[in-house]
Amino acid sequence: MDLFTGVGVALVTLLDDAGGVDTPATSSLAADLVSRGMQAVLACGTTGEPATLTDAERVEVIKGVRAAVPPGVPVLAGTGATSVDRAAELTAAAVAAGADAILAWPPPGSDDLPGYYGELAQMAGDRPLLAYHIPWISSPGVPVSSLAGLPVAGLKDSSGSPDRLLDEVAHYSGRTYVGSSALLALAGPLGGTGAILAVANVEPELSCAAFAGDAAAQRQLADVHLAVREGGVPALKRILAERRG
């Protein structure tokens, strides 16, 4: 399966009343968001809080989401880890679970990005691999100048930096997905490939409109964007609960 153009959702992982992973509810949310315009679903990315999941739960979520959304909609799996061995293990498990593409941040302080992503590319096989620049989790992240030398199909950039975004779309020929919902109305018109967003769990239509260049939609996203930026995934889940019950 090829990668996508447009807006995808960085899916939350929903829990049941006992605190366990609610795979049916998570999968149902994914299907609903696709019906509302999402072009892809990222399962077990940072918004999915994968560090709180067991390996079996990760596999269950990926399988459930893949079964719930239409075959033509790619399901990405987050497999970033603090070591190459762990990331490779997670990548192999995600592929076996049915993931169509892999998204991985590098180990913090990594000085061998080609080696790291080369190992993950082997585990991914024919699935596209995306680098993930998220410097507050994996410092210093993935420099734009390194991207052309990596065995990746593109990257997700969650830095929120408009300078870096401009550098990416001007100087990198791979696919660029923005991860900050503050930059959508800039990223789309600049020629970014798409976006993979946490706020799309609650505002899929506005996210699509903003990426298409609608400045009013970008402004309407401000309150949700700022709430999630300040409060993280717990704030996002509170908003989702308020809106969906």
Over residues 198-217, mean pLDDT? 98
Given a cut of 70, whether residue 154 has pLDDT beyond it is yes
**Residue 235 CA, distance from chain mean position:** 18
Task: Report the percent of the chain where pLDDT is more than 90.
Answer: 97
Active-site hit among 116, 117, 132, 177: 132
Q: Please report, for residues 145, 177, 182, 195, 202, the alpha-carbon distance to residue 157 in angstroms, rounded to integers and kept in the order given.
A: 14, 6, 12, 9, 20
Binned at pLDDT 50, 70 and 90, residue 199 comes out as very high
Q: Is 63 a catalytic residue?
A: no
Segment 180-191 mean pLDDT? 98
> Does the pLDDT value for residue 1 go beyond 90?
no
Q: Which of 63, 117, 156, 177 is catalytic?
A: 156
CA distance 137 to 184: 22
Report residue 104 as tokens. 């991985």
Which DSSP helix (H) or strand (E) runs through 195?
Answer: strand 194-197
- Give the integer Cα–Cα distance in Å for 185 and 134: 20
- The pLDDT of residue 96 is 98
226 contacts: CB under 8 Å, gap ≥ 6: none
User: Average pLDDT of the chain?
Assistant: 97
pLDDT at 2 over 80: no
Q: Which pLDDT score is estimated for 106?
A: 98
Identify whether 132 is a catalytic site residue.
yes
pLDDT for residue 217: 98
Predicted confidence (pLDDT) per residue in 94-128, tens digit: 999 999 999 999 999 999 999 999 999 999 999 99
List, in sequence order, every beta strand (DSSP E) within the chain: 6-10, 41-43, 75-78, 101-104, 129-133, 154-157, 175-178, 194-197
- Tracing tokens 């949700």 back to the chain, one arrives at 224
Q: Give the Cα separation of 185 and 204 in Å (integer).
A: 14
- What is the chain's percent helix, strand, coil content, to nearest 5? 50, 15, 35
Q: How many residues does the structure list for the chain?
A: 245
pLDDT the model gives residue 244: 84
- Judged against a pLDDT cut of 70, whether residue 131 lies above it is answered with yes
User: What is the per-residue pLDDT across 16-25, written as a single tens digit (0 to 9) for each?
Assistant: 999 999 999 9
Residue type, 90: L
Query: pLDDT band at residue 192, thresholds of 50, 70 and 90?
Result: very high
- Check if the beta carbon of residue 209 is closer than 8 Å to that of residue 233: no
Is the full-model pTM beyond 0.95?
Answer: yes
